Chains A and B, each alone.
Chain A
Amino acid sequence: MERHQRVRFYQVGSHVVGNRLLDPEQRTVQARMDRSNTLTCGHRACRGCGEALGARYVLDAAKRAADGKLIAANATGCLEVFSTPFPETSWQLPWIHSLFGNAPAVASGVAAALRAKGRDDIRVVGQGGDGGTVDIGFGCLSGMFERNDDVLFVCYDNEAYMNTGVQRSGATPPAARTANTKPIGEHLGNRFGQGKDLPRIAMAHGIPYVATATVAEPHDLERKVETAMAIHGARYLHVFVPCPLGWGSEAHDTIKLARLVKETGLFPVFEAVEGEVVGVSRIRRRTPVEEYLKLQRRYAHLFGDPGHPEIVARLQAGADRNIREFHLLDPAGEEVAW
């Protein structure tokens, strides 16, 4: 059988790589001179913070889609803390922080007020970290979904309660070290459990749109924000954001880690409409989980002499399962060349 070498140009399918040479219409919002800088500079995020990146990408795209008329409700957490060190703020949009567990409800309240006032031109985003979304905000999030309130809720998932010192959350992956899941005793790192798959839980609510994304692929992320903003009703976006401090990774590896988590299959990147998956972002070059894990000291206990290859194997099995269930590999083959 003849093997076709298909040259796929990543993300935009053009013959050009690099924003400056792209057709302006193909550029990301981030590449534009007129981007709104909704989360502007001067905030106190760590070097290499994936959440700051994610928030900037999401909100600039959302604000553009909303013609500048966007209101944000933010849960307590890193994003809220580093962006609003009193008396300064980095937010260039109307923004409210109420409590840790109520961001979805506050967003619903803002949306209700706008509806009562006939201002359907102003759109609402709710946002928070994995702790505020998957754990303490879960009830309010589910209520917002069930009512189909016109809110886009965005979870920036760095897989632990970072702002309080890296404690595990319902989103912490198995085997990961956190301040209260250390590699001591019977369980090395976080226990293996069922996990708490918020994107699938969101899908189970039957809401109009659910998508996952990472900060490694701004085109994909922005497109999903645009798609979401064109819909009215409850929408959920789950964005994978590395945390150098919490994960013990290098600041310059943030984008790389976001790419690897997708390429290993550990984090499926997909879209769903009304509870059905309608598209996946396929793995370009399948990567063993080790390559991803080794870059983070939160997994250091799995390596070395003798290390725990059996745990790595379990993590690999998890990734393999995702690849199967979401069909993350291109049917034409595993290896895809540039």
Chain B
Amino acid sequence: MLRQIEGSAAVAETVARCRPEVVCAYPISPQTHIVEGLSDLVRAGDLSPCEYMTVESEFAALSVCIGAAAAGARAYTATASQGLLYMAEALYNASGLGLPIVMTVANRALGSPINIWNDHSDSMSQRDCGWLQLYAEDNQEAADLHVQAFRIAEELSLPVMVCMDGFILTHAVERVDVPEAGPVDAFLPPFEPRQLLDPAEPMTIGAMVGPEAFAEVKYLAHAKQLQALDTIPAVAAEFEQSFGRSSGGLVRGYRLEDAETVVVALGSVLGTIEETIDAMREEEGMPIGALAIKTFRPFPMEAVRAALQGAKRVVVLEKALAVGRGGIVSADVRMALSGIELDGHTVIAGLGGRPITGASLRRLFGDAVAGRLGPLTFLDLNWELIEAELGRMGEGGRSGPHAENILREVGVVAGGSH
């Protein structure tokens, strides 16, 4: 049903339609409204049978899901940022055990310094933990991806992370067609586990595997993720048939047909990017397009290559940073374009929730087209501040903590707006 609804609420209702049997909740901004919404639905009897567990940490949350999924229950939890890190050990455990847990990650920056606003550093930090990673562009897609995620997870016996930008999507009230129970039930059959803790057929799950077999087990995990490259588009196609709208899949091109410059990005920033592209095409006739990466793990090498190979120049706009190296998504994109000659640019933007404005993007894309963009750019940095702080470091001796120094310069500490 079409509603004007907060992103978190849409996700909570959609997850409820997927009939999870065990939901674990540990609160962290900005995921809190999702787990609160699910609590209300369980208490009101709208989601039943479902055990809603309030746990004592994110590590516990995912561990409870692991036990529940191993016992054959459809299990769900949500987290962000520090919480995702706190369950890192369990992330690898869940994927290694092949448990089809679905988890929402309300993308938020990783500290230190502590920051509650949006960027992709949390999910990017766990890109290799063996979970599938899907990224939503808007709240409609965020809701839809959960339905697809349970289906994909259970078909492949792999856990799936649905990533949605914290605050920007979770706390935005916009139009969402929240899937109805009937169509979701038709799309998502009951969970039939491949392995199960069942006294009628006792199994040992989680034994140690030594050098003689470990490599094979890991290869099979990789092979299964590659299988997802077929499963994900198939499920997306079936979703479109059942629900009448396109969402999910591996990648989505926007005005790529004659694009000489292509901007690659994940998540909600694509909305602002597309508006900017439309304006540049209309006002300047600029042949510029965009490529949305919807599935980041497995990385859709072939689909990205196919979409970008005709371009002269690719600008990868990322909301995360590989400290000491540069771009994260760019590295995978570069790999996909192996052997193809074109100009590649990495732009790091939006870190810690800094807004990415249409005006900035317009200038940035203009610079790219005019050949003024270097290989690695940090968008909208306050270079004066940076220079001052670097200067302070260069003076020798103790310079103090960067974060506090910068906050003092910016006047935030005294300004009282925080």
Contact = CB atoms under 8 A, between A and B. Distances in A.
**Is there a direct interface between A and B, measured as CB atoms under 8 Å apart in the complex?**
yes
Interface of A: 68-71, 73-74, 80-81, 84-87, 89, 91-99, 101-102, 105-118, 122, 139-140, 142-143, 146-147
Interface string B181-212: 00000000000000011110111111111100
A110 B70 contact: yes
Nearest to B53: A112
Given A85-B208, A98-B67, A112 B55 contact: no
- Of all A-B residue pairs in the complex, the 8 with the closest CB atoms, nearest first, are A109-B67, A143-B56, A113-B73, A97-B206, A105-B63, A102-B63, A113-B71, A84-B207
B89 interface: yes
A51 B11 CA distance: 46
Contact of B210 (A70, A86, A93): A86
Nearest to A88: B207
A102 B66 contact: yes
A95 B65 CA distance: 16
26 contacts: A74-B206, A86-B207, A86-B209, A93-B202, A95-B202, A96-B197, A98-B66, A99-B90, A99-B93, A102-B60, A108-B60, A108-B64, A109-B64, A110-B71, A112-B53, A113-B75, A116-B73, A117-B49, A117-B72, A118-B49, A122-B199, A139-B56, A139-B57, A146-B56, A147-B53, A147-B54
A85 B50 CA distance: 36
Given A68-B199, A117-B49, A140-B59, A106 B67 contact: yes
A117 B199 contact: no
Given A96-B70, A105-B63, 19 more contacts: A80-B208, A86-B213, A87-B207, A91-B202, A94-B196, A94-B203, A96-B197, A98-B97, A99-B90, A106-B66, A109-B53, A109-B63, A109-B65, A109-B70, A109-B71, A110-B197, A113-B68, A140-B56, A147-B55
B22 A109 contact: yes
B207 A97 contact: yes
Contacts of A80: 206, 208
Contacts of B201: 94
Contacts of A111: 67
Q: Interface extent on B, as a size class?
A: 35 or more
A105 B60 contact: yes
A74 B207 CA distance: 10
Given A86-B210, A116-B49, A140-B56, A109 B66 contact: yes
A116 B53 CA distance: 12
A286 to B, nearest CB: 41
B53 A99 contact: no
Interface string B353-382: 000000000000000000000000000000
Nearest to A151: B67
Contact of A89 (B21, B66, B75, B207): B207
Given A89-B207, A97-B205, A109 B75 contact: yes
A112 B207 contact: no
Interface in B258-277: none
A140 B63 contact: yes
Nearest to B21: A116
Contact of A108 (B21, B53, B73, B90): B53
Interface in B220-271: none
A87 B210 CA distance: 10
Contacts of B64: 105-106, 108-109, 112
A62 B197 CA distance: 17
B278 interface: no
A83 to B, nearest CB: 8
Contacts of B207: 84-87, 89, 97
A80 B209 CA distance: 12
A99 B63 contact: yes
B51 interface: yes
Contact of B22 (A97, A98, A113): A113
Contacts of A105: 55, 59-60, 63-64, 67
A112 B90 CA distance: 18
B208 A86 contact: yes
